[in-house]
Amino acid sequence: MRKLFNLFAAVALCGAAALGFTVSESAAQSAGYVISAVDLEIKPEHLDKFIEAAKENGAATIKEPGCRQYDIVQSATNPTQILLYEVYVDQAAVAAHRASEHFKKYVAVTGDMVAKRQSRPMKPIALQAKPQ
* pLDDT, tens only, 10-58: 444 344 434 444 444 444 444 689 999 999 999 999 999 999 999 999 9
123 close to 31: Cβ distance less than 8 angstroms: no
pLDDT band at 69 (very low <50, low <70, confident <90, very high): very high
Is residue 128 in a domain? Answer: no
The CATH number assigned to the domain holding 110 equals 3.30.70.100
pLDDT of residue 59: 98
Give the residue numbers spanning the domain of 78: 2-122
What span, in angstroms and rounded, lies between the C-alpha atoms of 51 and 54? 5
Confirm whether 131 is domain-assigned.
no
Asked whether residue 130 is assigned to any structural domain, the reply reads no
Please report whether residue 21 resides in a domain: yes
> What's the pLDDT band for 132 if we cut at 50, 70, 90?
low
Number of structural domains found in the chain: 1
pLDDT tens digits for range 88-108: 999 999 999 999 999 999 999
